[in-house]
A and B are shown apart, each in its own frame.
Chain A
Amino acid sequence: MAARTEHSVAASFKDAAIAAVIALALFGPLVGLRTEVTTGGLFLSQRWGDVAIAVAVVFVGRLLLNVFVFKTDRPATNLFSGMKLSAGALARIGPVFGPLMLGLALTLPFILLYGAPSQSRYYIDLGILVLTYVMLGWGLNIVVGMAGLLDLGYVAFYAVGAYSYALLAINFGWSFWLCLPLAGVLAGLWGITLGFPVLRLRGDYLAIVTLAFGEIIRIVLLNWYEFTGGPNGLNNIPRPSFFGLEFDRSPEGFAATFGLEFAAIHRIIFLYYLILALALLTAFVTVRVRRLPVGRAWEALREDEIACRSLGINTTTTKLTAFAMGAMFGGFAGSFFATRQGFISPESFTFIESAVILAIVVLGGLGSQIGVVIAAIVLIGGFEIFRDFAEYRMLVFGLAMVLIMVWRPRGLISTRKPTIALGKAKAIGGELVGEGRG
């Protein structure tokens, strides 16, 4: 054993040296030579110090990893094995964690208002943002996690919802509560229209076509000036009212009616509860539908489409219902986004949004409601923590996506809970659960 350890140290150095050489090849030109745009054309500024740092970091990092993890008989990661989230442990905390999170979500604005009044607005806004992504994640989870259909253009339905609400509210002056269901229905109809021709495509073909649809919708929004305002977007989208009571200083406003002193935070808190309610509606409907034949058919479709067909399940309509339902919740989230921002433009609906929502679903664990919540908090919340390093935060975001995925390829919570049981329902290990080919 001793001999092997010695050998390991030498090998570790060699391996780290190779890594350093590769790092030099990678970073040498791109970091060491920076193209500067000047009036006389392009010239290069040199930053070899940065390259040296980068290469040193790679060398030391790789060496430490080699010595303590890869090329040793007792990897340091074993120390953490006790802490590793086993499927069983997660299943056990699941029932507690859910209600705990719900309780926290319900009381958060008040905790913040009394706990940290000066920061409350920022944190409630952050809560709204996280909840929006939770809702989008739950909506996409129906399509990707349950039905196993890879949708890379989910943002299209978010956009349809947002623009539907904005256009209906601006042009007809309809209230939020009328426009919200209409926007959802419109998004769902778009889901059916787009889904119908392409849902018989398999796997990555479906992925690229959904991506293409997402881009088509964005390009149309960008270029149809008369209708959508083009790149300038739509301004002055009406704010939602509290069942007819506006959040303003007027005597008929929300604050005056309830005898409160007017404060801008009222609207923020209202928006927070609005998105919370919408998200919970999504979760409630999803959990309910999962136990219905249509939900079971979605999951069966993910497991084996051919078997489904042999059991009398019309796979086209089953896929369409999943697609339409996912789209509808995306549409709800979109109209919420529009009313919250008061301004929308095609810039908010780029592919990267679809990618982030998909990442939340996959990182959380396909089909897992709680997993989506955790992933949304980690990704979106974590993204906010890095806001002081604005330049680097997308870089860190990408790194986090890669690292979490490599660490847990099946997502944070990969177990599946049966929808029905004769005795006690037992969680099913993620490795048995299908991932869909559609």
Chain B
Amino acid sequence: MEYFLQQLINGITLGSIYGLIAIGYTMVYGIIGMINFAHGDIFMVGSFIALIMIIALGLTAGSAIAVVILSLLLVLVLAMVLTSAWGWSVERIAYRPLRGSFRLAPLITAIGMSIILQNFVQIAQGARVKPLQPIITGGYTVMDSNGFAVQVSNIQILIIMTTVILMVAFSLLISRTSLGRAQRACEQDRRMASLLGIDVDRTISLTFVMGAALAAVAGLMYLLYYGVIDFFIGFVAGVKAFTAAVLGGIGSLPGAMLGGLLLGLIETFWSGYFSVEYKDVAAFSILAIVLIFLPSGLLGRPEVEKV
């Protein structure tokens, strides 16, 4: 039971990170119907920017608690802004010229962009893994029995809290603001939206910016949680997050979050009870099984075949 609880906490933490990245995939897919393969690498860029900012600010575990909080907020905002610039640029360079053309073309440029980002960071920052000393330490023991203590660390609380706050803010943004409305309009019918005076290019750009900002948050969380990053983390995280988005039903924001959580839980429990080596196999197999029985994911709108 204790072991189960511990795995649950770990799984939710991991799932939160996946969910934040998955939202970027699902939003872009919703609005322009393409797999933004470079999104995982945007997440990686975000975590690198966060790392650079943390070192630049000289943040360590020894700093006073107020300093840590303020600095982390600053790092978060800076990383979100700078990563957004990357997200925007990728869309501007590699996807916008191909708007309305062949479906596979932006997929290939996305893969190209993913290769570019990985190798750019590898050249600019070096190929070695970057270990960061833990900044947020400590935690609480939730339960202690038979010598097995169930722990929730502060960083886990931080990650889950941040994710919840962002999810709420984000849902409000999509459902209440004119930007959200424009986005939903573009999802439905891009040409009609533009006829009604919506700046479609701007809306799509903003979608990429928002996705990148959330990826930057996930990047910072990943950095703080695992304490080690390299230029290749984007690929695995990206594939997992995309899997999460599809699992939840691509195009659906709650679906992305649900998919992320499920994927995080599946991985953690599989690692905890069976084998660490095959956790990805478990995650991918469950994806395949879900899709076979629910072809549009858990929360996706079923695609009605128009004959």
The residues of A with any CB-CB pair to B shorter than 8 Å are: 22, 25-26, 28-31, 33-37, 41-44, 144, 150, 197-198, 200-202, 204-205, 207-209, 211-213, 215-216, 219-220, 222-223, 306, 351-352, 355, 358-359, 362-363, 366, 391-392, 394-395, 397-402, 405-406, 409-410, 435
B200 to chain A, nearest CB (A): 19
Say yes or no: B85 contacts A435, CB within 8 Å: no
B219 to chain A, nearest CB (A): 13
Q: Does B141 contact A (CB under 8 A)?
A: no
Contacts of B101 in A (CB 8 A): 409-410
Complex CA gap A358/B110 in Å reads 12
**B113 nearest CB neighbor, chain A only:** A402
**A36 nearest CB neighbor, chain B only:** B126
Give the residues from 268 to 307 in chain B that come closer than 8 angstroms, CB to CB, to chain A: 277-278, 280-281, 284-285, 287-288, 291-292, 295-296, 303, 305, 307
Say yes or no: A212 contacts B284, CB within 8 Å: yes
Complex CA gap A37/B55 in Å reads 12
**B246 nearest CB neighbor, chain A only:** A208
Contacts of A43 in B (CB 8 A): 55
| A contacts with B: majority SS | helix
Complex CA gap A35/B56 in Å reads 10
Say yes or no: A37 contacts B128, CB within 8 Å: yes
Q: Does B104 contact A (CB under 8 A)?
A: yes
A50 to chain B, nearest CB (A): 8
Say yes or no: A207 contacts B35, CB within 8 Å: yes
Say yes or no: A355 contacts B281, CB within 8 Å: no
Say yes or no: B288 contacts A212, CB within 8 Å: yes
Contacts of B55 in A (CB 8 A): 33, 35, 42-44
Within the complex, which residue of B81, B97, B239 is in contact with A406, where a contact is CB–CB below 8 Å? B97
Can you pick out 16 interface pairs between chain A and chain B where the beta carbons lie within 8 Å of each other?
A29-B82, A30-B49, A30-B120, A34-B125, A42-B132, A150-B104, A200-B295, A201-B295, A204-B250, A208-B242, A208-B243, A215-B239, A398-B119, A400-B112, A401-B115, A406-B109
Say yes or no: B105 contacts A34, CB within 8 Å: no
Within the complex, which residue of B81, B119, B129, B235 is in contact with A351, where a contact is CB–CB below 8 Å? B235
**B100 nearest CB neighbor, chain A only:** A409
Complex CA gap A298/B124 in Å reads 46
Complex CA gap A67/B86 in Å reads 25
Contacts of A359 in B (CB 8 A): 108, 111-112
Say yes or no: B115 contacts A42, CB within 8 Å: no
**B115 nearest CB neighbor, chain A only:** A398
Complex CA gap A29/B79 in Å reads 10
**B288 nearest CB neighbor, chain A only:** A209
Say yes or no: B116 contacts A402, CB within 8 Å: yes
The size of the chain B interface, using a CB distance under 8 A, is: 70
Given A34-B125, A406-B94, are A362 and B280 also a contact pair (CB < 8 Å)?
A: no
Q: Does B193 contact A (CB under 8 A)?
A: no
Q: Does B93 contact A (CB under 8 A)?
A: yes
A20 to chain B, nearest CB (A): 13
**A212 nearest CB neighbor, chain B only:** B284
Given A30-B49, A33-B56, A351-B235, are A394 and B119 also a contact pair (CB < 8 Å)?
A: yes
Contacts of A391 in B (CB 8 A): 122-123
Say yes or no: A213 contacts B115, CB within 8 Å: no
With A208-B246, A212-B285 already in contact, 19 other A-B pairs whose C-beta atoms are closer than 8 Å: A22-B88, A25-B85, A30-B124, A33-B56, A37-B131, A42-B51, A42-B130, A202-B303, A219-B278, A219-B281, A359-B112, A391-B123, A395-B120, A398-B115, A400-B112, A401-B108, A401-B112, A405-B109, A410-B101
**B45 nearest CB neighbor, chain A only:** A30
A375 to chain B, nearest CB (A): 11
Say yes or no: B278 contacts A223, CB within 8 Å: yes
Contacts of B288 in A (CB 8 A): 197-198, 209, 212-213
Contacts of A22 in B (CB 8 A): 85, 88-89
Complex CA gap A30/B120 in Å reads 9
A221 to chain B, nearest CB (A): 11
Complex CA gap A287/B307 in Å reads 32
Say yes or no: B35 contacts A204, CB within 8 Å: yes
Given A30-B121, A402-B93, A402-B94, are A410 and B102 also a contact pair (CB < 8 Å)?
A: yes
